[in-house]
Amino acid sequence: MKSTYQVLSPGDIRSAREHDEFASDLLFGLSQPVKEISSKYLYDDAGSQLFCRIMELPEYYPTRCETEILLRHGPAIVESVGDARLNLVEMGAGDGTKTRILINQLRGRHVDFRYVPIDISESAVSELCTELVQECPEVAVKGLVSDYFVGVDWLSHQNAARNLILFLGSNIGNFDPTRQVHFLTDLWNALNHGDYLLIGMDLKKAPEIINQAYNDRQGVTAAFNKNLLHRINRDLGGDFDPDQFVYYSAWDPFAGAVKSCLLSKAPQSVYIDGLCRSFDFALWEPIHTESSYKFSVADVHKKARHIGFEVVENFFDARHYFVDSLWRVVKE
Ligand SMILES: C[S@@+](CC[C@H](N)C(=O)[O-])C[C@H]1O[C@@H](n2cnc3c(N)ncnc32)[C@H](O)[C@@H]1O
């Protein structure tokens, strides 16, 4: 079967529509009392490559933990979902390295399935689809370049097979708690009774372990965040000097999240041609770039129940740093 991918509007940065969306989100974010840029803009081609490097860093435990979970519990996960024809849909698939573990389990059981990776990064989707067609030519792959929310809308029209949705890497933690509920409710609405969601959630743990994961010694996470400024300069004609900003990230136990930002090293004004205006930054003023909420096991159950999912089983790594929780949609 041929591998293919499709750009779902407004997913492609080169399209006028995404360009406009980036401009309006940026105008809104930089006009707030606390300046912010949505973390989804971290993932242009360069950002996606930097994130692949982050996943290999010794300090960045989530990827290794989730790989361990899928290697150890992949057979049980696949067993729980059953052998019926399957739509394996992944939200924010990235490079899909961990997903290959599940794909190989499904192939081993001869389950009839197609794989639909959905990601806002076109380079991530295109590379993943190209690689998969070589590695497993018998698997039907249909990548979609799209925002999660457009992806969920697409999903609501897919009824031909049971859905297993993957939302790995604690991507859910990049939403604040209100948007977590909003997104998961939209997803629940798009799914059918008996469909499954495998959701990866990073668990609360000692602050030093979390802080190290977001402050690696090689400075890759700092470069990943600063790439946002390069992206604004390139796509919207900004005149940010990235050397005039410093990356800062710390666990906030009151919010239950890592808050990441870029701090202005000087009082400065930055002009963005595409927005026809300049923005003033005070000394040490932050631009919020990403939140990464962490969860307790009780949070996992509360969230699932609140929305209408039943927790089938929680799968942990040996240190209980991370959980992949298998949820089933209950509508009857
Ligand atoms: C933290 S990475 C995790 C990748 C993968 N799920 C994993 O566990 O290794 C987040 C991925 O989600 C994608 N992403 C971020 N925001 C998105 C959005 N709003 N819609 C679709 N994809 C998004 C990024 O491009 C990136 O590939």
How close is the Cα of 233 to the center of ligand 1, in Å? Answer: 22
Q: Judge whether 198 lies within some domain.
A: yes
Residues sharing a CB contact under 8 Å with residue 31, sequence separation 6 or more, in sequence order: none
In a domain, 54, yes or no: no
Q: Is the CB of 119 under 6 A from ligand 1?
A: yes
What's the CA gap between 73 and 67, in Å, rounded? 10
Query: With bands split at pLDDT 50, 70 and 90, how would you rate the model's confidence at 263?
Result: very high
Q: Which of 12, 22, 119, 289 to mutate to test the pocket of ligand 1 (most atoms within 8 A of CB)?
A: 119
Q: Give the closest residue (by CA) to ligand 1 atom 26.
A: 94
Using a 6 Å cutoff on CB, does residue 99 contact ligand 1?
Answer: no
* CA of 283 relative to ligand 1 center, distance in Å: 32
Rounded to the nearest angstrom, the distance between the alpha carbon of 6 and the centre of ligand 1 is 17
Residues 276 and 143 both lie in one domain: no
Residue 14 has pLDDT above 60, yes or no: no
| 178 and 315 fall within a common domain | yes
Does pLDDT of 61 surpass 70? yes
Mark whether 118 and 161 lie in a shared domain. yes
Pocket of ligand 1 contains residue 167 by CB under 6 Å: no
Q: Which residue has the tokens 């469909």?
A: 195
Does the CB atom of residue 40 touch ligand 1 within 6 A?
Answer: yes
Q: Are residues 66 and 202 in the same domain?
A: yes
**Cβ of 10 less than 6 Å from ligand 1:** no
Band of the pLDDT at 160, cuts 50, 70, 90? Answer: confident
Is the CB of residue 221 below 6 angstroms from any atom belonging to ligand 1?
no
Residue 214 lies in a domain: no
The rounded percent of the chain whose pLDDT value lies above 90 is 87
What share of the chain in percent tops pLDDT 70?
96
- Euclidean distance between CA atoms 5 and 189, whole angstroms: 25
Cβ(143) – ligand 1 distance below 6 Å: no
Of 127-136, 266-275, 321-330, the one with minimum mean pLDDT is 127-136
Instruction: Indicate the DSSP class of residue 10.
Output: T
Residue nearest to atom 8 of ligand 1 (CA): 169
Of 144, 136, 197, 137, residue with least CA distance to 167: 197
**Dist. CA 278–CA 271, nearest whole Å:** 4
From the list 198, 202, 213, 205, the residue with the least C-alpha distance to 70 is 198
- Place 7 in a pLDDT band, splitting at 50, 70 and 90: low
As a whole number of Å, the end-to-end CA separation of the chain is: 36
Q: Is 219 exposed, middle or buried (0-12, 13-18, 19+ CB in 10 A)?
A: exposed
Asked if the model's pLDDT at residue 233 lies above 80, the reply is: yes
CA distances from 219 to 36, 225, 227, 247 (A): 21, 10, 12, 9
Answer whether residue 216 is part of any domain: no
- Residues 313 and 76: beta-carbon distance below 8 Å: yes
- CA dihedral in degrees (177, 181, 182, 184; nearest 10)? 130
Is residue 286 located within the same domain as residue 305?
A: no
Model-level pTM? Answer: 0.95
The one-letter code for the residue type at 315 is F
**Using a 6 Å cutoff on CB, does residue 169 contact ligand 1?**
yes
Are residues 231 and 88 located together in one domain of the fold? no
Question: Do the domain assignments include residue 107?
Answer: yes
Asked if pLDDT for residue 252 goes beyond 50, the answer is yes
Same domain? For 283 and 183 the reply is no
Residue written as token pair 């004004």: 269
Range in 81-85, 218-222, 243-247, 273-277 the model is least confident about: 81-85
In a domain, 215, yes or no: no
- Band (pLDDT 50/70/90 cuts) for residue 75 is very high
CB 178 within 8 A of CB 306: no
So what's the pLDDT on residue 319?
Answer: 98
Q: In this structure, are strands 268-272 and 86-91 parallel, antiparallel, or unpaired? A: unpaired
Judge whether 288 and 259 are in contact, CB under 8 Å.
yes
The CA 92 to ligand 1 mean position distance, Å, reads 3
Domain extent at residue 106 = 61-206+295-329
Q: How many CB atoms lie within 10 A of CB 301?
A: 16
Asked whether residue 5 carries a pLDDT value surpassing 80, the answer given is no
Contact 98, 67 (CB under 8 A): yes
Atom of ligand 1 nearest to the CA of 43: 25
Confidence of residue 13 (pLDDT cuts 50, 70, 90): very low
What is the structure's pLDDT at 106? 96
Evaluate whether residue 161 is within a structural domain: yes
Determine the pLDDT at residue 149: 87
Same domain, yes or no: 180 and 261: no
Q: Is 208 exposed, middle or buried (0-12, 13-18, 19+ CB in 10 A)?
A: exposed
**pLDDT tens, position by position, 177-206:** 999 999 999 999 999 999 999 999 999 999
pLDDT category, 331, cuts 50, 70, 90?
Answer: very high
**Rounded distance, CA 245 to CA 241, Å?**
8
Number of domains in the chain: 2
Tell me: pLDDT of 9 over 70: no
Residue 174 lies in a domain: yes
Query: Based on the domain organization, do 167 and 249 belong to the same domain?
Result: no
3-class SS of residue 213: helix
Ligand 1, atom 13, residue with closest C-alpha: 92
pLDDT averaged over the chain? 94
Based on the domain organization, do 124 and 71 belong to the same domain? yes
**How many C-beta atoms lie closer than 10 Å to residue 261's C-beta?**
23
Q: Give helix 220-236 / helix 45-55 axis angle, nearest 10°.
A: 170
24 forms beta bridges with none
Residues 31 and 136 reside in one and the same domain: no
Cα-to-centroid distance, 95 and ligand 1 (Å): 9
The DSSP symbol for 203 reads B
Alpha carbon distance 213, 64 (integer Å): 12
